[in-house]
Structure 1
Amino acid sequence: MVQLSRKQIEYLNHADRRWNFKSGAVRSGKSFVDTAAVIPKRIINRIEKPGISVILGVSRDSIERNVLEPMREIYTDKRVGIINSRNIVSMFGEQVWCLGAEKISQVAKIQGSSIKYAYGDEVAKWSPNVFQMLKSRLDKPYSCFDGSCNPEHPTHWLKEFLDSDADIYVQEYTIFDNPFLTDEFVKNLCSEYAGTIYYDRLILGKWKRAEGAIYRKFADNPESFRCEIVVGEVNPQSSVKQFRKDDIVSIEIGLDFGGNQSGHAFVARGYTDNFQDVIILASRRITAGDTDAPIDSNVLDKMFCEFVGYVENTYGLTSWDGIHNLESVYWDNAETVLGNSIRNAVEREFPWITVRPAQKRRIKDRIDCTLRLMGSGRFWYTADARTVAKALTESVWDKTKAYDERLDDGSTDIDSLDAMEYTIERDMKDLIA
């Protein structure tokens, strides 16, 4: 039997408007009440009525992960099917469109359609154009929308809509509104976000502007994140955290190419087993004034290969069957010519290393992952990574922007942060699972 919290029952009893929203903290139960009760009820009540039903999320994958999978756990795959090639899923006897809402082009298939019911997942991450289109499509007397979101900055387009005089019911959640979370989980999540803008948004559920230092906990005390890599056993009396060299199971290197106001940055990252600890092993930043000759691709190739060789000799390990723990290089995919040159140079000298372009996932997601690693005591750097430590200390939000953006005006070292993030972005889901 499904159990609901007081807040969730309150939503079921009062969410009877054209627009119904739950805004607030992560893991506060916003989405569970939708998958357990709201979506089935809305769809079933509109069967055989004119119009289509739609589920919108950031992407098709996020709809599957956040909405459909939890519903199947409750109602089985007989009531909640699989999204087909036409982006349609069978739910409770109704054909429901499932579409990504990050770009307006993704929802072109339903433009012109009359929508009788729409559910929105992670609405604050949508393209505002998609939301504007949706307004005109909910054109039946019985049309309605249910949606959930985590707060962003207070001038966000969705916040402006929620504060408008439209026919809206809004319910706000903090993490403490979910009685089914353990005290230990809540305590750990609070500590991960403590001292950051994400505590206000994702713990307290507030629409709060991002200001000041991004990595405040690190900036206040960088030495508390410093570690040493030792050969043999660790010294329990050491004044800094120590890791055995043998405990580093994976090393990868990020490379960010500099522009007019920046420099080239090399960053090596190590993992301990099961993504437990993230260690920034070494970093270098190269600017035009650091060399006698101009930094062309040949000079850059040579300098980068020297850095790779240093990381391999200092922190790398080779198993008895020839397997190296220095595995991959990820380069800034905005510079294809330089990236291909780096790939050729590295593969000549270090043929076991895979060289590929970075994915360059959303900067906000990369920041969030790093902050959570810091908050949970799993982020470290060595004395060889001072450029990254300095970059983290100085990194601030751009106060001139209405949305969250890291200041990138040449006054801080964004290159080292990008290079560092290229080494963890593919693993973010596992790192914060």
Structure 2
Amino acid sequence: MTSTKTLDYQFGQKHRDYMRRCLASTINVAEGAVRAGKTVDNVFAFAYALESAPDRIHLATGSTSANAKLNIGDCNGYGLEGIFRGRCHWGKYKGNEALYVSTPSGEKIIIFAGGAKADSYKKIRGNSYGMWIATEINLHHDNTIKEAFNRQLAAKGRKIFWDLNPDNPNSPIYTQYIDLYAEKQRKNEFPGGYNYEHFTIHDNATITQERMTEIISQYDQSSIWYMRDIEGLRCTAEGLIYRQFATAANSQQNRFAYRAEQDLTFFKIVLGVDFGGTGSGHSFLATGITPGYREAVSLASERFTGDDIDPDRLGQLFVAFVQRILHQYGRITAVYCDSAEQVLIRGFRKALQQAGLGYVRVYNALKSSIIDRIRLTTRLMAQGRYFYVPDQCQSLEKAFCTAVWNPKSLTKDDRLDDGTSDIDSLDGFEYTIEQDRNRFLNAER
């Protein structure tokens, strides 16, 4: 493969063997721990095949278009943009982000798209693709997977490259695709060739022991993500979600308790509101965020139950909570509310204006996926970057200590929401940090 820039690739033998098998295999799957080198392998193999690919248009997907560009296009300098530097440029193709690459076999166009939503498949319709590379394929909606396959039916040089971290062992990505292909390959019923490899962080020749220790320390070792991301295991989520927090909160040395001597400075004070319904409650949460998004501190939480709280009364309770936070901390940056209750949100804005607090801005919560919100929270806890004020956050403390995975959810990770635990306070807290998820994650580096 002709290259315009030398990249310092260091591939272990397991990675070299996987990439060699890519040459003769239609479907290639790299599964395993984080930082194992899975994506780099697939990007390199995809780029090598692109040089002589007979098709002009190809597809690169992630859970979002931005995720695809970051992990496949950039990939910490080892992505397609780096490999083809000097003979590629970014542009648009039929409304999609695209990388145009000059190769010995002609110009190639790689379309980048997201695949997580039910309607994501609409963005990749209308084209025929030769090869398809996907990162975090388990986070793609099945509609996207099926559409991408359909779009390759006319390909002259059809190839697929997937990577993923381990997931729930009953996930459809295994039962309908990965394990099904393995079984067909075993029976010699997969004529195109199926290439699968499982990697752990120890297979990555570029990771030093010091860096490996640092990465591992960012995880709660009792969490499903430690078992999946670090140990590389497929496992079912079960039991307490925040086991590390529950253990600490019930000990004399509660490492999550915020103490005055810590003297943290908050550059943002964010409020979160989750509205209750039948069998649930209304929850107000306040979170302080330190400069550089290093820490998140739960400053106060309140929860009100009962179906007899009318909108006007709820507005009064909210104004009282706002006044309490302003009195203690001097400002409120933003309020994020459950977007499903627009009437109540308008009532809050009216109540704030009547109380002379119209400058407090109330927005719809982002409401990202629950599993992403849980994962962000557990990472902050594992890294010693989350604290709370115990005597001001009693409802939130109880919610963290009692939240459990749904034992009846066999194919996906889902927390139990049957009224036996306080999901409302968890939602309210998550609304206060989810907007800054990427900033919190970037602060790890």
- Which stretch of structure 1 is more off in the superposition, 345-354 or 216-225? 345-354
Are positions 1:61 and 2:66 aligned together?
yes
Q: Does the C-alpha gap of structure 1 residues 356 and 110 become closer, same or farther in structure 2, counting only changes over 3 Å?
A: closer
| 8 A Cα contact 2:166 2:233, kept in partner | yes
Paired with 1:33 and 1:283, the residues of 2 have a C-alpha distance of 46
Are positions 1:82 and 2:70 aligned together?
no
Pick one of 289, 298, 313 that aligns with 1:271. 289
- Which stretch of structure 1 is more off in the superposition, 107-116 or 4-13? 107-116
| 8 A Cα contact 1:225 1:381, kept in partner | no
Pick one of 154, 159, 163 that aligns with 2:179. 163
Paired with 2:403 and 2:362, the residues of 1 have a C-alpha distance of 28
| 8 A Cα contact 2:47 2:83, kept in partner | no
Pick one of 341, 344, 350 that aligns with 2:347. 341
Are positions 1:124 and 2:138 aligned together?
yes
Superposed displacement of residue 136, structure 1: 4.0
| 8 A Cα contact 1:83 1:98, kept in partner | no
What pairs with 1:409-428 in structure 2 (closer than 5 Å)?
A: 409-428=418-437
Q: Deviations over 1:209-238 (max 9, x none)?
A: 1111111111122152443453xxx2xxxx
Superposed displacement of residue 77, structure 1: 6.1
Q: Does the C-alpha gap of structure 1 residues 193 and 9 become closer, same or farther in structure 2, counting only changes over 3 Å?
A: farther
What pairs with 1:349-368 in structure 2 (closer than 5 Å)?
A: 349-368=356-375
Q: Deviations over 1:264-297 (max 9, x none)?
A: 00111012221111111110110118xxxx3111
- State the SS of the aligned residue for 2:59: strand
Superposed displacement of residue 84, structure 1: 4.5
Runs of 4+ in structure 1 off by over 4 angstroms are: 109-114
Match of 1:189 in 2: 215
- State the SS of the aligned residue for 1:45: coil
Q: Does the C-alpha gap of structure 1 residues 280 and 18 become closer, same or farther in structure 2, counting only changes over 3 Å?
A: same
Q: Deviations over 1:299-358 (max 9, x none)?
A: 0111111111112222x13xxxxxx3x211111111000011112323443244221110
What pairs with 1:121-160 in structure 2 (closer than 5 Å)?
A: 121-139=135-153, 140=155, 142-160=157-175
In the alignment, residue 147 of structure 1 is paired with which amino acid? Answer: W
Q: Does the C-alpha gap of structure 1 residues 346 and 182 become closer, same or farther in structure 2, counting only changes over 3 Å?
A: farther
What pairs with 1:216-231 in structure 2 (closer than 5 Å)?
A: 216-222=243-249, 223=251, 224-230=254-260
Superposed displacement of residue 108, structure 1: 3.5
Match of 1:237 in 2: none
Paired with 1:304 and 1:182, the residues of 2 have a C-alpha distance of 51
Q: Using structure 1 for the length normalisation, give the TM-score.
A: 0.88
Q: Deviations over 1:189-209 (max 9, x none)?
A: 323231100111111222111
Q: Deviations over 1:90-123 (max 9, x none)?
A: 1232122222222453334655754321111211
Superposed displacement of residue 407, structure 1: 0.5
Q: Does the C-alpha gap of structure 1 residues 389 and 110 become closer, same or farther in structure 2, counting only changes over 3 Å?
A: closer
| 8 A Cα contact 1:51 1:113, kept in partner | no
| 8 A Cα contact 2:18 2:195, kept in partner | no
Paired with 2:30 and 2:89, the residues of 1 have a C-alpha distance of 23
In the alignment, residue 67 of structure 1 is paired with which amino acid? Answer: I
| 8 A Cα contact 1:173 1:204, kept in partner | no
| 8 A Cα contact 1:225 1:379, kept in partner | no
Q: Does the C-alpha gap of structure 1 residues 82 and 206 become closer, same or farther in structure 2, counting only changes over 3 Å?
A: farther
Q: Does the C-alpha gap of structure 1 residues 4 and 328 become closer, same or farther in structure 2, counting only changes over 3 Å?
A: same
Long gaps (5+) in structure 1:
235-242, 318-323
Long gaps (5+) in structure 2:
1-6, 185-189
Number of corresponding residues: 406
Pick one of 27, 34, 40 that aligns with 2:35. 27
Paired with 1:21 and 1:270, the residues of 2 have a C-alpha distance of 42
Pick one of 306, 312, 318 that aligns with 2:326. 312
| 8 A Cα contact 1:54 1:118, kept in partner | yes
What pairs with 1:280-429 in structure 2 (closer than 5 Å)?
A: 280-288=298-306, 294-314=308-328, 316-317=329-330, 324=331, 326-347=332-353, 348-382=355-389, 383-402=391-410, 403-429=412-438
Identity %: 29
Superposed displacement of residue 80, structure 1: 4.3
Match of 2:241 in 1: 214
Pick one of 167, 180, 189 that aligns with 2:206. 180
Superposed displacement of residue 144, structure 1: 1.2
